Amino acid sequence: MFATSRKTVASIVSSSQKFHYRLESSQAAATRDKFKIVVAGGGTGGLAVASQIYDRFRSAGKPLKDGDIAIIDAAENHHYQVGLTLVGAGLGAKTDFRRRLASLIPKHTTLVPENVHSFSPASSSITTASGREITYEALVVAIGMKTNWDTISGLSQALANPTSGVSSIYSYDTCDKVWADIESLRSGKAVFTQPAGVIKCAGAPQKIIHIQVDFFTGMPTMFSVKKYSDSLNALREERGVGGHFQHNLVAVDSQHHIATFKTADGSTTDVDYTTLHVTPPMGPPDILKGSPISDTTGWVPVDQSTLRHVNPEFGNVFALGDCSSLPTSKTAAAITAQAPILTENLFSVIDTGKVSSAKYSGYTSCPLLTGYGELMLAEFKYGLVPDETFGWLHDQAKSQRCQDVFPAAYWKYMVRGKWFGRAGLRRSGAM
């Protein structure tokens, strides 16, 4: 029925041969046990820094071979976690914020579809869950942090119950339940929680409460940076949202719709709810607890400026993002600032034996969604000092109209290593 030219057939055969060659090369690389660079973790930090490292060597005229960089991660899918906040606010479908991890790996990078089981920095090696030993010339640890659902009694069961009224934006499985619960609320009490301690994107619980109202937080204030905290508190009062500080959620009775909180003096108080949004406690991944590359609290201790391991014996180990000891808010924005610094210093260590002049300032940001089409952009650095990009234009402690460009920028630039924080598409040596 269709006439096909010899040229077209030749093109199809050629394309097929190239595809099979790339597939076979990728499969062969995945069975290697020695790599120049190993990146543990295929999350935001791992994907961004792997591509930036490859590009840095190439720009220096010292290109790495295909397969010299390996990303170790068993996850089938990669989630744009910031986007789950939008799902919880009814502003998007959760499928818009998920991609297959393998589809985000460049052809010159090897994906080892396993998780790290243990680290052996003395021998510059890691062992995977299957027992496979992989060696490296340099290691980047970017395995994120663990969400500790089970530390709150009854929470896991409540989240699994579709009629419990309990939800959380901190899971792909439950983020759409948040909006379903809010939208169906006609009367009663909506309770939103935030624990004391370290969590991913500390502004996320704030984003939820200002869209729809009692707020219980383990923290003494609304936000860690006073400038933004004062503005958020004023906004909370203006909208009639109740504020209960130094209250940590410890138990959920979904059958009777009762949330139990522990207060600063050690006593507990029970709160009735109709809808309960939970921000669970978080901490370091289990594989880091007691690991030779970790500190006593379970984080990877790195120099605050260079992101290189603080132990001189582990000078070829670097870390960024949630799993690191960096004393700054754990956000995607922080990673965009950290990745170029880590890249520059890792390249310099391999090339010259010492770190470069690139320094990380602790910059991070929390885009606080305060209403439909409105946000407050909190930007700060080490010491909780505001470090604003648009402060010359307007007061960033006030809500501004915005257009949501973050998801598009994330998939097109950030996970491909083409976004360098406030420097945009231009690599910089200080952030």
Tell the burial category of 211 from Cβ atoms under 10 Å away from its Cβ (0-12, 13-18, 19+). middle
Locate 149 and state its tokens. 């659902």
Q: What is the pLDDT of residue 196?
A: 85
Who wins on pLDDT, 32 or 113? 113
* pLDDT above 70 coverage of the chain, percent: 87
Give the residue-averaged pLDDT of 174-178: 93
Q: DSSP label at 206? A: H
**How far is the first Cα of the chain from the last one, in angstroms, to the nearest whole number?**
61
Q: What is the pLDDT of residue 14?
A: 41
Q: What is the pLDDT of residue 337?
A: 95
Instruction: Please tell me the least confidently modeled range out of 15-29, 283-297, 318-332, 353-367.
Output: 15-29
Give the residue-averaged pLDDT of 278-283: 95
Q: In this structure, which amino acid lies at residue 339?
A: A
Q: In this structure, which amino acid lies at residue 126?
A: I
pLDDT band at 391 (very low <50, low <70, confident <90, very high): confident
Q: Which of 175, 201, 323, 402 is labelled catalytic? A: 201
Task: Please list, in sequence order, all residues whose beta carbon lies within 8 angstroms of the beta carbon of residue 401, skipping any fewer than 6 positions away.
Answer: 373, 374
Three-state DSSP class for 231?
helix
Three-state DSSP class for 100?
strand
Instruction: Please tell me the least confidently modeled range out of 73-82, 364-373, 421-430.
Output: 421-430
Beta-bridge partners for 39: 71, 140
pLDDT band at 428 (very low <50, low <70, confident <90, very high): low
Q: What is the pLDDT of residue 178?
A: 92
pLDDT band at 206 (very low <50, low <70, confident <90, very high): low
Number of residues assigned to the chain = 431
Helix then strand then coil, in percent of the chain rounded to 5, is 35, 25, 40
**What is the rounded average pLDDT for all residues in the chain?**
88
Locate 106 and state its tokens. 């460049």
pLDDT for residue 247 is more than 50: yes
Task: Please list, in sequence order, all residues whose beta carbon lies within 8 angstroms of the beta carbon of residue 267, skipping any fewer than 6 positions away.
Answer: none
pLDDT for residue 207 is more than 60: no
pLDDT for residue 430 is more than 90: no
Characterize 236-264 residue by residue with b for buried, 16 or more Cβ atoms within 10 angstroms of its Cβ, and e for exposed: beeeebebebbbbbbebebeebebbbbee
Q: What is the pLDDT of residue 219?
A: 93
pLDDT for residue 202 is more than 90: no
Give the residue-averaged pLDDT of 176-190: 87
pLDDT for residue 157 is more than 50: yes
pLDDT for residue 32 is more than 60: yes
Residue 402 known to be catalytic? no
pLDDT band at 23 (very low <50, low <70, confident <90, very high): very low
Residue 175 known to be catalytic? no
Q: What is the pLDDT of residue 11?
A: 41
Specify the DSSP element, H or E, that contains 157. Answer: helix 155-160
Indicate whether this model's pTM tops 0.75. yes
Tell the burial category of 150 from Cβ atoms under 10 Å away from its Cβ (0-12, 13-18, 19+). exposed
Q: What is the pLDDT of residue 15?
A: 39
